[in-house]
Amino acid sequence: MPKKIVSPFIQLGIMLIFLMIIGCKTSAQNNRNKDGFVQIFDGKTLKGWEGDTTYWRVENGNLVGQITPTTLLKTNSFIIWQGGRPADFELTLEFKI
């Protein structure tokens, strides 16, 4: 019975997929704080977030949405997390109006 030979390209592809999975898992684990939560806002940038920067910005470690007389809204403006696909989660936040 002849032996099947796995193509080097298939072997390389499998190895790359494996490394990507391991890298993603390790990255998420490294981002966990002492309570086990993964923070999705770094307090410095809007990295991973999608929103109109006319209204949304980072200020003193806070995510700020602001409407001024010169930037009045015609429709709602939202900021949306686009930095990954969350699974089971708990939302913890503080806000001020």
**pLDDT value at residue 89:** 82
Q: What mean pLDDT comes out for the span 80-94? A: 85
2 falls in which pLDDT band (50, 70, 90)? low
Q: Are 95 and 65 in contact (CB under 8 A)?
A: no
**pLDDT value at residue 85:** 84
What's the chain's Rg over C-alpha atoms? 21
Q: Are 58 and 42 in contact (CB under 8 A)?
A: no
Q: Are 56 and 82 in contact (CB under 8 A)?
A: no
What is the tens place of the pLDDT at every residue in 25-82?
444 456 677 887 888 889 999 999 999 999 999 999 999 999 999 999 888 889 999 9
Closest to 86 in 3D by CA, of 39, 21, 45 = 39
Q: Does the structure show a pLDDT above 90 at 90?
A: no
**pLDDT value at residue 25:** 47
Residue 35 amino acid letter: D
Q: Are 75 and 58 in contact (CB under 8 A)?
A: no
Q: Are 43 and 58 in contact (CB under 8 A)?
A: yes
Q: Are 97 and 66 in contact (CB under 8 A)?
A: no
Q: Does the structure show a pLDDT above 70 at 1?
A: no
